Amino acid sequence: MDINGTDINAALAHFEQRLQWEIDAADLHANPGAYAIVDARTPEVFAAGHVPGAINLPHRTITAGTVPFPKDAVVVTYCDGIGCNASTKAAVKLSRLGYQVKEMIGGLDWWRRDGLPVHGAEATAAAGIACGC
């Protein structure tokens, strides 16, 4: 423990564990080829705007037969953002199927806030389509 009574080792373990299961938009953008990127929202919302290189795999459709990448892929799931939990639902299903999964914190909302490129019909996305969970 340090002078303030904080257990430094516990804090370190906590933050290292978070990084094992989460990724931010900047880190994903810097190394997209290292991951299979899954947009867990509906096809309509995916078409309106998505992370470049992402595949659309709505969380409700995930089964062993619908996942198009190998088991050794490191998968990043995302959805609309903080008010949407489609990425978490997809991460659970993919983890149950044996994939190593990270969730992109902040989803597409924080991706856009970082000024990163989005593929799709931006005008439709700006028109107020719901999160598509």
- Residues with a catalytic annotation lie at 79
Place of tokens 């509906």: 42
The gap between the terminal CA atoms of the chain, to the nearest Å, is 43
- Residue 37's contacts (CB-CB under 8 Å, 6 or more residues apart) are 28, 51, 53, 54, 55, 75, 76, 78
CA angle 80-39-76, nearest 5°?
105
Place of tokens 């994939």: 99
